[in-house]
Amino acid sequence: MIDPTIRPVFSFDTNSPYAYLAALRIDTVLGGDVEWRPIAFAFLLRSQNRTPWSMMEPTRTAGVAECQARAAARGLPPLRWPPGWPLESYTLEPLRAICAAIAHEKHREVAIAAFRRNFLTGDGVRGAGAIRECWAQAGLDPATYDEEIEAAKGQLAAFTDRAIADGVPGVPTITIDGVHFWGDDRLDDAARAMGREP
């Protein structure tokens, strides 16, 4: 049985549209006391010897349509897709920036800014200065960016290694007391496990 007093963990990668959709409503569904934990989804996939739905047909077309349908059902703007998504749009920089921002309690703000660049504007996060701009938008000092990003590499690796060891199946995943709720469509199930009415 799940202990609902244990703080939920939100495992995510900013290259995932489903994680974007989950991030926009997680506080509403689960409450504000959720640990946001960025993980390098590419390394999780490698550990599972798995190819994501977004890199093959027909699952890519179906998945994109499903994401658009969920956005529309929630009154959100249509998703826009960064150049070369998913493979060419992928980078560890936003995840490292989010890790670095944890010490400043601004990691959610950096994460949301990166998600918006990927799936709201479609500008993507690989352009020169893109994540530095997200960092500044979160109210963080651009002068410390390079140093803090470098220092955060180990934290991202640790989060990713822990996710792999704990059996996190993918992104987004909500983990409560060792039980994984994988997918944007499982947020309500996670809320019920916590004794909340979604």
pLDDT tens digits, 158-194: 999 999 999 999 999 999 999 999 999 999 999 999 8
HSE (CB half, 13 Å, CA atoms) of 197? 0
Query: CA-to-CA distance for 78 and 76, rounded, in angstroms?
Result: 6
Nearest-angstrom CA–CA distance, 111 and 16: 12
Tell me: the pLDDT tens digits for 50-64?
999 999 999 999 999
DSSP code string of 49-106 = T---GGGSTTHHHHHHHHHHHHHHHTTPPPP---TTTTTTT--SHHHHHHHHHHTTT-
CB 99 within 8 A of CB 152: yes
Rounded to 5 degrees, what angle do the CA atoms 18, 42, 2 make? 60
150-157 average pLDDT score: 98
Choose among 45, 25, 32, 159: nearest CA to 95.
159
* Cβ proximity of 10 and 172 under 8 Å: yes
**DSSP-based helix, strand, coil % in the chain, nearest 5:** 55, 10, 40
| Model confidence band, residue 8 (pLDDT cutoffs 50, 70, 90) | very high
Query: How confident is the model over 64-99, as pLDDT tens digits?
Result: 999 999 999 999 999 999 999 999 999 999 999 999
Q: What pLDDT, in 10s, does the model give residues 185-195?
A: 999 999 999 88
Mean pLDDT of all residues in 111-137: 96
Q: Which CATH class is domain 9-193?
A: alpha beta
The CA-atom distances, in angstroms, between 126 and each of 8, 16, 41, 123, 149 are 30, 15, 16, 9, 15
pLDDT at 22: 98
Q: Provide, rounded to the nearest whole percent, the portion of the chain with pLDDT above 90.
A: 92
Share of the chain above pLDDT 70, in %: 99
Q: What is the mean pLDDT of residues 134-146?
A: 97
pLDDT band at 128; cut points 50, 70, 90: confident
pLDDT at 196 over 90: no
Q: Tokens 């949301």, residue?
A: 112
Residue 1 has pLDDT above 70, yes or no: no
pLDDT, position 127: 87
